[in-house]
């Protein structure tokens, strides 16, 4: 009689199966180690030891160091998208110039959602991981983060700015404004420790988060209101100088009715 393979099931109380708990623990540990040492210098043996597993477990769950780096990136992507997806979806729906006021509100809501990531569980290790990845430029994670978080958000922000300013999405001024506006939030994520030190804050709490949102909203509206919308930043045409008489040209004598 053939044996029936029993599928592994989640416990009925909603907890994780043991293998999934182990995988999650390895990712949490790897985020910290990669954030501290970088992809090239991080030791898989150290990650395994700190996670309380044998080194072969990393190969089993992730296929090696690069696979673990990708898993860390996917973990951040999943968490960030769970926070910003509603605001990102709303932002993508606004495309007509007639929706200028809605575009400003949608942009501020998207920036608020990004700021909410500062108080999400584990966000401290995400920031270190991303900051170290940008500095080193090593490993596959940064490409994944750009493709799945950075570029979609940048595109949505540029689209909203184009609606507000009546410019093209691909216009350089539009893209510069998008980068400047997004930088207000991303600096808190990627420069978390130095920012808190400068502000003399021990952490980000609800009150401090609201202050950050209020300032960013004010700055964003000021950036969008600055200068004329269409063609802002383009050189203005020079005023024409009054015509001069050519050398040697005879001046027409004034008639008695002309004023001087």
Strands in the chain per DSSP E: none
pLDDT, tens digit, for every residue of 81-99? 999 999 999 999 998 888 8
pLDDT, tens digit, for every residue of 106-162? 999 999 999 999 999 888 999 999 999 989 989 999 999 999 999 999 999 999 999
Smallest CA-to-CA distance from 162 within 147, 149, 181 is with 181
pLDDT band at 227 (very low <50, low <70, confident <90, very high): low
- Give the predicted TM-score (pTM) of the model: 0.77
- Cα 257 from chain centroid? 71
Q: How far apart are the first and last CA of the chain?
A: 120
DSSP 3-state assignment of 172?
A: helix
DSSP 3-state assignment of 70?
A: helix
């Amino acid at each position: 009689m053939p044996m029936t393979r029993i599928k592994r099931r989640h416990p009925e109380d909603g907890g994780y199966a043991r293998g999934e708990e182990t995988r999650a623990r390895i990712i949490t540990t790897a985020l910290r180690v990669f954030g501290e040492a970088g992809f090239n210098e991080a030791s898989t043996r150290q990650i395994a030891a700190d996670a309380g597993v044998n080194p072969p477990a990393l190969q089993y769950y992730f296929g090696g160091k690069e696979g673990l780096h990708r898993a860390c990136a996917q973990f951040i992507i999943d968490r960030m998208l769970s926070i910003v997806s509603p605001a990102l979806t709303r932002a993508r729906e606004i495309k007509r110039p007639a929706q200028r006021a809605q575009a400003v509100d949608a942009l501020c809501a998207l920036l608020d959602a990004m700021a909410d990531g500062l108080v999400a569980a584990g966000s401290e290790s995400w920031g270190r991981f991303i900051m170290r990845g940008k500095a080193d430029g090593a490993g596959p994670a940064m490409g994944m983060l750009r493709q799945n978080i950075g570029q979609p958000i940048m595109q949505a922000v540029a689209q909203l700015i184009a609606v507000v300013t009546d410019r093209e999405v691909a216009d350089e001024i539009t893209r510069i404004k998008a980068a400047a506006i997004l930088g207000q939030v991303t600096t808190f994520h990627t420069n978390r420790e130095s920012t808190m030190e400068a502000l003399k804050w021990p952490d980000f709490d609800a009150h401090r988060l609201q202050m950050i949102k209020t300032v960013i909203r004010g700055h964003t509206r000021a950036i969008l209101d600055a200068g004329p919308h269409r063609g802002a930043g383009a050189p203005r045409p020079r005023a024409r100088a009054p015509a001069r008489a050519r050398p040697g040209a005879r001046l027409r004598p004034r008639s008695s009715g002309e004023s001087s």
